[in-house]
Structures are given as C-alpha cells and as structure tokens.
Chains A and B, each alone.
Chain A
Amino acid sequence: MSNIFLIMFGAILTENFIFSRFYGCCPFLGVSDKPSTALGMGMAVTFVMTLSSAATYAVYYLLLEPFGLEYLKTIAFILVIASLVQFIEMFLKKYIPSLYSALGIYLPLITTNCAVLGAALVNIQDQNSFVESVVFGFSAALGFTMAITVFAGVRAKMQLSDPPKSFRGFPILLIAASLAAMAFSGFSGMKF
C-alpha cells in the first residue's frame, strides 16, 4: 500500500511529467492559453493515460513477452494508444455525448502526446505491477493536468505584461515555465 502512495506522490510532485521529465511539453506549451482548455486537455489525457497504462501492460506481458518480442514494444504501444484513442472517441460519441463534447477536440491530439507513450514505457522500465502501472498512469496524468492548468493561470496573467519585443510570444512563455520548473524542483529534495 505504501508503495502505491509513493508512486502517486512521485508521479505528481517529485517527478512531475512536465517539469522534471519533460514528457508532454508540446501540449503544455500549445494548449495552455486558457485555464478551461488546459483543464479539458488534462482531463482527456488523464482518461486516456489511465486506460492506456492498463492496455499496454496487458499487451506487453500477455502478448510480447511470452513470444520474446519485447523489442517491438515501441511499435506495439503506439498502435495500442492510437487505436485506444480512436475507440474512446467513438465510445464517447455514442454513449456519453456530454463528455465527448467536452473532451472531443483534444482526443486526436493525444496520440502524438509523448506523455502517454512515455508513461507506458516508464511502467515497463520500472517493472511496475498491473495496479502500480494503472496508478502511475493516473497520477502522472494528474500531475500533468495540475502543471498545465496552473501554468494556464500564469499565462493569463502574463497577457497583461509588456515584455521587450524580442521576448514576446514563445520566449517569455519559456522563461515563465523555467520559474515554474524551479518551484517544482524544490520537491526533488523529498526522496524516500
């Protein structure tokens, strides 16, 4: 049980996907312009990442490992994730239209979000059990959601500021992200 807690704590704070592992920086810089869009993206990622952690675990240990095909894991995982995203999209469209209208536009973007594939590969590398894998996927996605939503708030404030001309747009964003990352690196002292 304490192991599960450690995985959650690590994935959300000390090894935050964006600020310490750099997984999922593209959506982090791309869709964090409004807190509501950031939250939508975060929720979609959480949904997909939890399910894909379970699915990739099953594919790896039930299909690839018994046949000695571990080296095909990158190809297998990306296909699993791509088809899972497609499947979730169809399922939500048909059965939970309200959730589909909230998350729909973010779902296709998730296939190429490196956080999802990253979580699947970390699970294999750390030799997590099934429950640990799912917990890791879920909490890493929570950490992602937290980072992206908090940063969207920072960005909204930043629109009122007046940086030098060369720093407008992307550069000032990166510098703000640097300050946020500095705050998160404070958690890295909490080793267990």
Chain B
Amino acid sequence: MKYSIGKQFKEGIITNNPTFVQLLGMCPTLATTTSVINALGMGAAVTVVLMFSNLFISLVRKIVPKQIRIASYIVIISGFVTAVELIIKAFFPAIDASLGLFIPLIVVNCIILARAEAFASKNPPIPSMIDGISMGIGFTMALTCIAFVREFIGTGGILAAADGTGGLKILGSWYPGASIFLLPSGAFLTLGFIIALVQKISNTKAEKARLAKITAEDAERKEKAV
C-alpha cells in the first residue's frame, strides 16, 4: 500500500472521523462541549496523548506479548495522561477547573485504545504518530463544532473563558440564551442533530453515486444496442 500523509489526515478528519463516523469517545464529547474553549482544551489534551501513546505503542509493538497487550497499552496511555494532567494543572488552572475529572478519564477514552489496537499495534512508528495527530485533530474539530452550536445557542456568544467571562458577544443583550443547550440534555440533542446531518450528507452522496452508476450503465447498454 502506498503511504500518503494527506490521505491519512483526510481519513482522521473527514472520512473516518472518530466522533461523527466511528462514534467513539462519547463521554468527553458530551461532557466537555459546553464552551468552545473547553472543547479546544479537551481536544488538545486528547491529541497530545493520542500522538505519544500511538508512537510508543508502535515502538514496543514487537516486544509486548499478545496476551498482555491491552494491559500494557493502558499503562502507556495512563502515563501520558498523567503527564498531560500535571501540565494542564500547572499552566492552565482555569481549564483544569472546568474540565475536572475528564482529563484523567482520557485513560478510558475508547478512541485512544481503539487507535492503539487498530493502527499503532500494526504499523511503524511515524505513520502511527501521524495517525494519532490526525485522529486527534478530527476529534478536536468535532468537539469544537458541537461546542460552537451549544455555546452560541446557549449564551448568544462564543469563546467565553472557562469562568464565563469575556468572549465574543454575537447576539446583543436582548438574547436571553437558551440555557437548556448548556445542560446535559442539550448535549445529547446537539450531537443527535449533528450526526443526523452527517448521515444525511453521506446518504445523499451514496444516492448520487448510485444514480451516476445507473446512468453510466444505461448509456453503455444503449451503445451496445446501437
């Protein structure tokens, strides 16, 4: 198989997006998307962990016996999660306060274990690292997308800091904010509608491809008849 970085990025961000297509890692997706800043913080943390864990798992993939691979992956992942947690605590205390326990819970995020098992355990280090970065970016973009909808409808502005101050007020003070979008039920609702939109787009694409195929076959048949 020919190796291409561009293809790998396209895979992670669009065609095989971890959140919208693979439907992995729902807990942080629902919990940390109350504001765009939170979503970016969570996405960055996951991307860093994913990049390093994929790299190291790929490096040790030939040494670790098959039976204990999951346990050793979890130890590698939790090592990096602890490092990221300490860095965030030290340099971004506001993000740490608003993300709370979801930073340590990256350990049990299915995206990371899924990429370790499906990609890093079978591929050389550099492509594995790139896979980690592209999946991480795909996850971050999905999170930001959900958070944008929730924050915009919920407060009428975006990019407010973790403590609710600052940010861009897009709608004026006449807009009271639909706070249901900041509550848990708003998270389920927004994600449901966005995934429905993604399915709609892929359905339309599949339908178009099917129609194009039928017309092409038709034309061929006509040509043969002539």
Q: Point out the residues of chain B lying under 8 angstroms from A182, CB to CB.
A: 180, 183, 185
Contact among A118, A164, A171 with B101 in the assembled complex (CB-CB below 8 Å) = A118
Main secondary structure of the interface of A (DSSP, over half): helix
Nearest B residue (CB) for A181: B185
Judge whether B200 and A166 touch: CB under 8 Å.
Answer: yes
Interface string of B53-91 (1 = CB under 8 A from A): 000000000000000000100110011011001100000
Known: A74-B81, A78-B107, A117-B107. A181 touches B27 (CB 8 A): no
Judge whether A181 and B188 touch: CB under 8 Å.
Answer: yes
B159 to chain A, nearest CB (A): 23
Nearest A residue (CB) for B180: A182
Q: Point out the residues of chain A lying under 8 angstroms from B81, CB to CB.
A: 74
Q: Point out the residues of chain A lying under 8 angstroms from B199, CB to CB.
A: 165-169, 171
Count contacts on A: residues with CB < 8 A to the other chain: 45
B residues near A, CB below 8 A?
A: 23, 25-28, 30-31, 71, 74-75, 78-79, 81-82, 85-86, 101, 104-105, 107-110, 113, 180, 183-189, 191-193, 195-197, 199-200, 203
Residue pairs across A and B with Cβ atoms less than 8 A apart, 24 shown, are A22-B27, A22-B184, A25-B26, A25-B27, A26-B26, A26-B110, A29-B26, A71-B82, A74-B85, A75-B78, A75-B82, A78-B108, A114-B27, A117-B105, A118-B105, A122-B101, A164-B196, A166-B199, A167-B199, A168-B199, A171-B192, A171-B199, A178-B185, A179-B185
Most chain A CB within a 10 A radius of its CB, from B28, B71, B81, B101: B101
